[in-house]
Amino acid sequence: MKKNNLIITKKIWNIKNFKKIKKKVLIFNKINKSELKRLNPNIIFFIFWSKIIKENVFKKYNCIQFHAADLPNGRGGSPVQNQILRGKKNTKITAFKVSKNLDSGPIILKKKLSLGGSAQKIYENIEKISIKMISEILNMKKIFYKEQKGYIKKFNRRKKNESIIDFNKIFTIKKFYDFIRMLDANGYPRANFKIKKFNFELKKAKLINGSLIAEMKVLKKWLKIKKF
């Protein structure tokens, strides 16, 4: 029986990207042990997956994950935001074999990624590039793995309170712009601040002639923001 290839992703940014895969794959938004057993997949690809992949899964199946950093520099959570905060303009998407230690498995493939524009634009681009990488991997006669070497930098996953603008910190206009755009994506906690009973959200930031222009939304109640 021909084995299936699976994609597991917690979020789909543009379903059209997935339709471009020539070798069809099945798409899921969670790991279901009984479903995995039934399908007995050849490869499981993980895109935008922040949960720990259990050892009994990655040891039984060939699990390949995509991470928006030039591994090993950039292991850990919120890689897009952490790199933008560090002033990076470009990075890479790394496809690697899932192993016991977070984001430390052997590398299969890397592709360039721009960190310009809003988080929404970046995430859609990550998805698009990752799908192309999946097609490339599926067309390989044999997958070769290369152990990670070089400088190891670990990122911490950003918490809800880190989306609140701290005006006591020194912001240049450019850094303020970066802070707004790196949080500007559907379903993510946008840059925000509170004045008395009102909460202010900022999005769609632009730099025009040295000035920062952004769209502001005023909410009466303080936001309850989830981790991302």
- Write down which residue in 116, 131, 155 finishes a domain: 155
| Cβ atoms < 10 Å from Cβ of 30 | 10
Q: Confirm whether 202 is domain-assigned.
A: yes
CB 166 within 8 A of CB 175: no
Establish how many alpha carbons lie within 13 A of residue 55's alpha carbon, considering only the half-sphere containing its beta carbon: 2
- Write down which residue in 137, 155, 173 finishes a domain: 155
Same domain, 13 and 73: yes
Q: Confirm whether 18 is domain-assigned.
A: yes
pLDDT tens, residue order, the chain (228 aa):
457 899 999 999 988 888 878 778 888 888 888 888 888 999 999 999 988 999 999 999 999 999 999 999 999 999 999 999 999 999 999 999 999 999 999 999 999 999 999 999 999 999 999 999 999 999 999 999 999 999 999 999 999 889 999 888 877 999 999 999 999 999 889 999 998 888 999 999 999 998 999 999 998 665 555 544
CATH number, domain of 57, equals 3.40.50.170
| Cβ atoms < 10 Å from Cβ of 99 | 17
Q: Confirm whether 61 is domain-assigned.
A: yes
- Print the domain residue range for 201: 160-219
Largest Cα–Cα separation, the chain: 64
Question: Which pLDDT belongs to residue 224?
Answer: 55
Same domain, 206 and 120: no
pTM value?
0.91
Q: Confirm whether 142 is domain-assigned.
A: yes
Spatial separation of the C-alpha atoms in residues 106 and 149, rounded to whole Å: 9
CATH number, domain of 165, equals 3.10.25.20
Alpha-helical runs (H) found in 88-203: 119-138, 173-181
Sign of CA dihedral 105, 111, 112, 118: negative
Residue 64, both tokens:
């390949």
Same domain, 121 and 192: no
Same domain, 151 and 175: no
The DSSP element (H or E) to which 209 belongs, if any, is none
Spatial separation of the C-alpha atoms in residues 228 and 191, rounded to whole Å: 13
CB 77 within 8 A of CB 157: yes
Same domain, 94 and 149: yes
Q: Smallest Cα–Cα separation from 192: which of 170, 212, 221, 172? A: 221
Question: Which pLDDT belongs to residue 1?
Answer: 47
- Write down which residue in 115, 130, 155 finishes a domain: 155
